[in-house]
Amino acid sequence: MTAALVFDQVALDDRMPAAVSLTVRAHQVVSVVGDPATGVRRLGPIALGLDRAARGRAWLLGEDAAALSARNALAFRRRVGYVPEGDGLLHNLSLADNVALPLRFTSPLTPREIESRLRVMLAAVRLTEAADLRPAAANDDQRRRAALARALAFDPELVILAQPFDGLGPRAAGEILEMARGGDTPEGARRTVFLTAQMLPDRVRARVDARYRLTHGTLRPEP
């Protein structure tokens, strides 16, 4: 399998000699857990070129995203879905309008085509009845589903999730991961998934192919 994401000697803190080296293969689901003080929250943004490591480099689908021009980075990121910590929804828009943002601003679709696709996306994440709510009126599960639907707008080959299960029960957490995976293929998950969290719910652990814990800048496999 080809590598979808590679962290090559990435140092999260220049005061620590340890560095993160990790390869996420295509069709794998990989998790890294750790306390906030470990810097685990920075891994997703570093991979996307939104944050810079103290040392080392991250390769995303074979590219150094941090080195791309703004124009090329925008096009490139359509291949990657990203759900930031806390969901990143705009609170002045409804959940449906949040989901539709990538389609309205970065796709060639007509308004009618966007509305048709939006209905399908909302149904897929079970948000049809809550679509008109603004984030402040929605619960944690509904907000997380909206953020994931937005990240999946272009059916990316890789999905990066930051703290995706915070505030969710075991069932909802499991459903979020299954939607991110996008189903199964003979090679594994249809989409590659890289997620960071403080902990993994038991219901999710069985669906993660490789689990790691970050401690003092060092990755260690988890059983």
What structural domains and CATH numbers belong to the chain? 3-221 (3.40.50.300)
- At residue 75, the pLDDT reads 75
Q: Which residues contact 218 (CB under 8 A, 6 or more apart)?
A: 18, 20
- At residue 1, the pLDDT reads 65
**CA distances from residue 191 to 105, 130, 220 in whole angstroms, order as listed:** 24, 26, 24
- For tokens 């969710």, the residue is 168
- At residue 91, the pLDDT reads 95
pLDDT along the chain (223 residues), means of 10: 91 83 97 92 92 91 84 80 92 96 88 93 94 96 94 94 91 94 95 96 93 92 89
